Amino acid sequence: MKLLVGLGNPGNKYVGTRHNIGFMVAQRFAERHQISLKKKGYQGIYGVGCAAAEETTVLLPQTFMNLSGMSVNAAFQSLGVTPGDLIVVYDDLDLEFGWLRIRPEGGHGGHNGIKDICNVLGRKDFVRLRVGIGRPGHGNTTGHVLGRFAAEELKDLSKVVETAADAIDTILGDGVQPAMNRFNKNLLEA
């Protein structure tokens, strides 16, 4: 069993915000593999299906970003997933928009959702797919993270989300290292 978690905040207020790009990627991946995200459980919304010949659960925690650990841990424990079979997709301020970064483990890098997951699971050895949202030139990072994508970003957003879903397929089918080699880059460079 593989567990793919897209991080974001629940509710219409947050739909389409930078902080919810993890939700967007997980939803696109689920759609691609005809995994219906309609079940309620694990303090989230989830679905189960097959991707890259692997039984895969896709989970969107509904606990709000900073408390994502409760939802992830509930699914992690119930499904008997090993750390290497947990993939978490989330936004990253420290990567420019258009960049992806895959890692097999690591710290939280200041991301409160990842920090909570690490604290609740008591481990850091799970796969991460960071999707760049960039930092604002000046001002309030909270407003930037919880804000909607700029018009210039919107024209490339579907490419970023689609390519991030491709990266998940590669992680599942070929492994983390091949996915890192292929996708750890700026997707918008010619």
Catalytic residues: 19
User: What is the maximum alpha-carbon separation in the chain?
Assistant: 46
80 burial type by CB count under 10 A (0-12 exposed, 13-18 middle, 19+ buried): exposed
Q: How far apart are CA 157 and CA 19, in angstroms?
A: 13
Q: How far apart are CA 135 and CA 78, in angstroms?
A: 36
Phi-psi region of 142 (alpha: psi -120 to 50; beta: other; left: phi over 0): alpha
Tokens found for residue 50? 């097959």
- Is residue 29 within 8 A of residue 163, CB to CB? The reply is no
Name the one residue in this structure whose structure tokens are 């097999």. 104
DSSP assignment of 76-93, as one string? Answer: HHHHT--GGGEEEEEEET
